[in-house]
Structure 1
């Protein structure tokens, strides 16, 4: 058999493997979007019309599959963050960043879960979450330095808002899918520097925040 014959023989296998890979990602996007990050991998494999062993050959862990499925959402979020970080008005940048974040949560429970949780031990998810935290702090600090946002708001307060909006999005997705925007704008008024009043409870520490996000993963 010539090299050309061997290539011809292997090509259909590579095409089939790519098709299975693509079906798995498409099925994962559907299942994670509806059921969240804890969606059944067996269900995803059935939806993709492949054996569960095939799923694990392509994606050795749940998080490998989740990141592949969320790639378009994460890319869209990154693009929105870049826009926010280059806007001239710090307050408008802060509003745009949060509205973009919550609009991407809508209709995708998997992305919603991913934003809310930490997955310790996985370098890829830790890197993504660390980057998101830096972006939030950059947008927030810029607005605070411009005296547009009250100075006692912290990263943990924004993550608390992500948690509460995520829960609201879950509850209203089929009845009032835009209710999250009202909640966001009510909170934005509370964040304005000129609205500031003393808060009786101190903000969560970075460790408390991290441990709480890990708890959401381990408690599911």
Structure 2
């Protein structure tokens, strides 16, 4: 970026950039990262040329649009890893990631994607750091006898894929569905599931999705 937004006459450029980012965040969050850039430009109310002046590649736009959510993801993992009780920390990570990814479909796709390019490199490095932190946390939870011994880190990716599926259907699903799903995941990962207490309240999805059986 070479625009000096502090100079007179550049206010419109700054506003265009902010509109592009707002539109991109909204579209990526609700529809995923495959949204065409022309749709981002249309939603932002700018022409494609204006979008490309601010973001030369889609990777550059993705990196900027997801800077905040990726930072939040790293903070969740870091907080869990810092917990002196490794099982409690792991449960907090599971619950936090499910809640965060439930709000942002594109974040899950970016996290699980093979997108490359210099703009995505920082996100990839952060993902690798998170992976190492989770490996250490899982190892400590196993050593404490709280995490089932056959758990592997790929199970967390399986969790993210499944959580994404909850929110990928045609009908909107409330975030509470991910909270209940996370509670089931905790029990599936626990060495002693009976110790994990009660599940969050049920989420009445069938009626909301129009598939509830009619009373006879």
TM-score range, shorter chain: 0.7 to 0.9
Q: How does 1:22-101 map to 2 (within 5 A)?
A: 22-101=18-97
Partner residue, 1:206? none
The aligned residue for residue 168 of structure 1 is: 166
Report the RMSD for the aligned CA atoms in angstroms: 2.1
- Matched residues, number: 186
C-alpha spacing 1:67/1:173, structure 2 compared with 1 (3 Å): farther
Instruction: Tell me the TM-score normalised to structure 1 length.
Output: 0.76
| Cα shift readout 1:99-141 (whole Å, capped 9, x = no counterpart) | 1111111121111212222224552342232123223213222
Aligned counterparts of 1:125 and 1:75: Cα–Cα separation in 2: 9
Residue of structure 1 equivalent to 2:7: 11
Q: String of CA shifts for 1:185-212, please: whole Å, max 9, x gaps.
A: 22221212246xxxxxxxxxxxxxxxxx
Q: Is 58-67 or 88-97 further displaced after alignment? A: 58-67
Change (3 A) 1:12 1:48: farther
Q: Is the 8 A contact 1:106 1:173 kept in 2?
A: no
Return the structure number with greater helix share: 1
- The answer to whether residue 178 in structure 2 is matched with residue 180 in structure 1 is yes
Number of the residue aligned with 1:109: 105
Name the CA distance, whole Å, in 2 between partners of 1:66 and 1:26: 12
**Contact 1:112–1:166 (8 Å) recurs in 2:** yes
**Cα offsets for 1:116-175 (capped at 9, x unmatched):** 222245523422321232232132222112221122211111111111111113238724
Rounded Cα–Cα distance in structure 2 between residues aligned with 1:75 and 1:126: 12
Length-normalised TM-score, structure 2: 0.77
Q: Counterpart in 1 of 2:155? A: 157
Does residue 132 of structure 2 align to residue 134 of structure 1?
A: yes
Give the whole-Å Cα distance in 2 for the aligned partners of 1:81 and 1:172. Answer: 30
Unaligned runs of at least 5 residues, structure 1: 1-9, 196-220
Residues 81 and 97 in structure 1, CA contact (< 8 A), matched pair in contact too = yes
Structure 2: gaps of 5 or more residues: 1-5, 194-216
